């Protein structure tokens, strides 16, 4: 049997199963990979909002990572909710040890509707990961927060390779997602805006990207395939509560 690509995921737990680590594991499995995971935070949320969260102990997380990586070698890193600057430091230590391994950074700052998923100064800490990041996957509010006080060019100057900008927060019947590098917009992908609000679409997309990058696809192939898969998941979305729908990630 062909070996499965291994994706090391650092992400939070979302009890609804729509976003966070459960979304990541499901998307990575659907793309033919295996997720190994470090849980960064426990959140309290429903399908409407994040009520609060508790970040894990960074020292314990570092030990978990060291034990795991002594045994397993990842083919890609997927960084989701990192919650706290101290956890970003643990992530950075890991990335420094694997300069050849692609890194997908989903700059999670808030849930889709309401509620912060970030401790103070998280954004500044996330920027320190840019030199290691192959693909950043911000939505529009996240991109605005990241670019406040700097420019997109500066992000690339700090070492970022590429960005997949998710356009769902812009108005219009079509959603325009863009793959951007230091050279400018490489590809534009349009998707029909599906009715409803979704919980976990960003995690699904970023994890699919991570698993495809782990398999050696180009960034252009990764963006096209992962966006196509995510749109399929949203077209199969289902209700588990009263508010946002959960992507149907199993193909």
Rounded CA separation 53/42 (Å) = 6
Query: Binding residues for ligand PLP, per CB under 6 A?
Result: 11-12, 14, 19-20, 43, 45, 50, 80-81, 108, 111-112, 117, 199-203
* Nearest to ligand PLP of 49, 154 (CB atom): 49
Q: Which of 110, 102, 55 is nearest to 209 (CA)?
A: 102
Pick 111 or 167: Cβ nearer ligand PLP: 111
Contact by Cβ (8 Å): 80, 107: no
d(C-alpha 36, C-alpha 17), whole Å? 17
Q: Report how far residue 201's alpha carbon sits from residue 112's, in angstroms, rounded to the nearest whole number.
A: 9
Nearer to ligand PLP, 165 or 203 (CB): 203
Closest separation in Å from C-beta 110 to ligand PLP = 8
**Could you tell me the smallest distance in angstroms from the CB atom of residue 22 to ligand PLP?**
9
- In the complex, the smallest distance separating the C-beta of residue 247 from ligand PLP, rounded to whole angstroms, is 9
For 16, the token pair is 């609804």
Angle (CA) 86 7 198, round 5°: 80
Q: In this structure, are residues 58 and 98 in contact, taking their beta carbons and an 8 Å threshold?
A: no
**Complex with ligand PLP: residue 112 or 134, whichever CB lies closer:** 112
- Shortest Å distance, C-beta 132 to ligand PLP: 20
- Report d(CA 217, CA 186) in Å as an integer: 16
Q: How far is the CB of 50 from ligand PLP (least distance, A)?
A: 6
Nearer to ligand PLP, 4 or 110 (CB): 110
């Amino acid at each position: 049997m062909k070996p499965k690509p291994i994706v090391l995921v650092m992400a939070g737990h979302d009890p609804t199963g729509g976003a966070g680590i459960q979304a990541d594991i499901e998307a990575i499995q659907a793309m033919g990979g295996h997720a190994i995971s470090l849980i960064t935070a426990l959140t309290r949320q429903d399908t409407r909002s994040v009520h609060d969260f508790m970040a894990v102990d960074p020292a314990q997380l570092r030990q978990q990572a060291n034990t795991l990586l002594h045994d397993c070698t990842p083919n890609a890193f997927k960084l989701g909710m990192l919650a706290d600057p101290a956890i970003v430091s643990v992530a950075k230590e890991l990335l420094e040890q694997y300069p050849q391994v692609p890194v997908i950074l989903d700059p999670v700052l808030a849930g889709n509707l309401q509620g912060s998923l970030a401790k103070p100064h998280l954004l500044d800490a996330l920027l320190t990961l840019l030199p290691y990041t192959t693909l950043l996957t911000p939505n529009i509010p996240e991109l605005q927060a990241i670019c406040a006080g700097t420019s997109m060019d500066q992000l690339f100057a700090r070492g970022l390779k590429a960005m997949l900008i998710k356009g769902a927060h812009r108005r219009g019947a079509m959603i325009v997602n863009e793959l951007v590098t230091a050279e400018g917009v490489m590809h534009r992908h349009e998707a029909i805006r599906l009715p409803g609000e979704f919980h976990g679409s960003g995690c699904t997309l970023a994890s699919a990207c991570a698993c495809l990058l782990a398999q050696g696809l180009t960034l252009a192939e990764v963006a096209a395939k992962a966006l196509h898969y995510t749109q399929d998941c949203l077209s199969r979305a289902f209700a588990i509560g009263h508010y946002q729908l959960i992507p149907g990630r199993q193909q």
